[in-house]
Amino acid sequence: MTLTTLKLYLIQRNQVTLTDLANHFNRDPETVKAALSHWIQKGKVKHNIAEACQKSCCKNNGMDIYEWLG
């Protein structure tokens, strides 16, 4: 995975979860986050957290979603 391939994948998808990125590039999510931080600092990517479940019994804290802003 290079910064360019990450950029192109984000442009194609517009919004992608961290899990999808890690699976697509066959990398650890922390490695993908480190690469994403480059594009976030440049103002090209926005990090969102989507609530997966609104119920108090659910242990899911949300899903990391990255959006290409271009």
**Which residue ranges form the domains of the chain, and what is each CATH number?**
3-51+61-68 (1.10.10.10)
For residue 29, give the amino acid letter: P
Which pLDDT score is estimated for 49?
87
Q: What angle do CA 15, 30, 63 make, to 5 degrees?
A: 40
- Which pLDDT score, from 0 to 100, does residue 62 have? 66
Query: Rounded distance, CA 37 to CA 9, Å?
Result: 15
R_g of the chain, CA atoms, integer Å: 13
| pLDDT > 90 in the chain, percent | 77
Segment 18-51, tens digit of pLDDT: 999 999 999 999 999 999 999 999 999 999 987 7
